[in-house]
Structure 1
Amino acid sequence: MIELRKALAEIQIDKLAIVATHTDALNNLCERESMLFARAQENKPDNAPSDLLLGLFTKLNVEALSSLNAHLDQIQAMQSAIEEQVGRKHAESFKLPVVEELLLVTHIWVYVQGYLGLDYSLANDHAMQTSETLSPLVGLSVDKIRTQFTQSYYQGYREFEARKPPSSGWKRWFEKWFN
């Protein structure tokens, strides 16, 4: 059995820029979710850890997104009140843990999708949905946030491509021609 943090390290999650800036949040998340990851490995011993990571981060994304959506009005009201009291510049220094976690979880989730070679359109759809929720809270456009998420997908996809065994000459030619 492999620990959650080690499973993430093995798929080279540390290459994501957000991991470097949110180390504490990632460590807290790994500590909090390690038992669930261990249970998943016990229940599905034939599954690769990367497949289990997909399931775990799908769950984490859905939960974080629904939690944020459930309290979106209150969060926006709180942000407005802070802005009114301390000004926009100082208000930007206040970070909401639920927003930070959703950003981190989504980046890792779409990275894992790319790492497993899953279809881009699904990752893009989820990135768009999460971006629409986060945009008013982080002060960036939906497209800017979605683009950041899809960059994580492509980082994972590059790892997927690097792990693929080399193709034969004809197969490579067809793949190059039709892709």
Structure 2
Amino acid sequence: MTSLSELIQQMGGKDIAFVKKHQAARRRWTKEHTPLFARVCENKPEKAPALHLLGLLTKSHIEATANYEQSASSTQQMQQVLNETLGNEHADKFSNQSAEDLIFITHLWLFTQGYLHMDYSLAHDHAEQTQSTLNHELIIKRMDVDAFRTELMQSFYMGKEANPTKKVSLLSWFKRLFSL
């Protein structure tokens, strides 16, 4: 059985720029989700591990979005205080872990969707949703929101390129996902 970390490596997920740059987020997520991934793979060995990864990332994205939204108000207030007392230069050193985790998971999730040759418009909607969720965070960090969404979609295309031989239509993917 392939471990979660090995699967991500085999698929090429570690080549995503955000994943390379934020190794701590990758380690946190992998450590937390390895036991669940192993159980799911053991319980449903007939399914491809990449499909299990997609399900795990979907679950993780929902949780990370909720976690970010729950702490957004207090984090934004803290960022404002840091900006006012320390100035932008030093306040920018503050890192919002829940935002970092959400961005990491979104990159890997979109990469996996591309790897499975899922529908572009669905991936784009997910990227747009994450951009909208993180809008205030992006403004605070003075990031271009369109460039952010483009970076997310770049992960989708990287996944597509990482698995060029496997073309799966959305209909056949859903049939396979919900069979058995």
**TM-score, normalised via structure 2 length:** 0.86
2:54 is matched with 54
Tell me which amino acid in the other structure corresponds to 1:120: Y
| 1: CA distance, partners of 2:166 / 2:131 | 31
Tell me which amino acid in the other structure corresponds to 2:131: S
Tell me which amino acid in the other structure corresponds to 1:151: Q
Please state how far the C-alpha of 1:38 moved relative to its aligned partner.
0.7
Task: Identify which of 141, 158, 162 aligns with 1:159.
Answer: 162
| 2: CA distance, partners of 1:74 / 1:164 | 44
Q: Is the 8 A contact 1:115 1:160 kept in 2?
A: yes
1:35 is matched with 35
Tell me which amino acid in the other structure corresponds to 2:15: K
**Per-residue Cα deviation, 1:132-155 (whole angstroms, up to 9, x for no partner):** 121321332332211110011011
| 2: CA distance, partners of 1:16 / 1:108 | 8
- What is the CA RMSD across the aligned residues, in angstroms? 1.4
| 1: CA distance, partners of 2:7 / 2:166 | 19
| 2: CA distance, partners of 1:109 / 1:97 | 18
1:144 is matched with 147
| 2: CA distance, partners of 1:94 / 1:113 | 31
Q: Is the 8 A contact 1:128 1:142 kept in 2?
A: no
Tell me which amino acid in the other structure corresponds to 1:127: A
| 2: CA distance, partners of 1:77 / 1:38 | 39
Moved over 4 A (4+): none
| 2: CA distance, partners of 1:143 / 1:11 | 27
| 2: CA distance, partners of 1:164 / 1:108 | 18
| 2: CA distance, partners of 1:27 / 1:72 | 23
Unaligned 5+ segments in structure 2 are 168-180
Unaligned 5+ segments in structure 1 are 166-179
2:81 is matched with 81
Query: Identity percentage over the alignment?
Result: 38
**Partner SS for 2:47:** coil
| 2: CA distance, partners of 1:157 / 1:70 | 33
Does 1 or 2 have the higher relative contact order (CA < 8 Å, sep 6+)? Answer: 2
1:1-179 alignment runs, 5 A limit: 1-138=1-138, 139=141, 140-161=143-164, 163-164=165-166
**TM-score, normalised via structure 1 length:** 0.87
In our comparison, the structure showing a higher alpha carbon Rg is 1
Please state how far the C-alpha of 1:79 moved relative to its aligned partner.
0.8
| 1: CA distance, partners of 2:18 / 2:68 | 19
Q: Is the 8 A contact 1:110 1:150 kept in 2?
A: yes
Tell me which amino acid in the other structure corresponds to 2:157: Y
Q: Is the 8 A contact 1:135 1:145 kept in 2?
A: no
State how many pairs are aligned. Answer: 164
Please state how far the C-alpha of 1:89 moved relative to its aligned partner.
1.3
| 1: CA distance, partners of 2:107 / 2:92 | 21
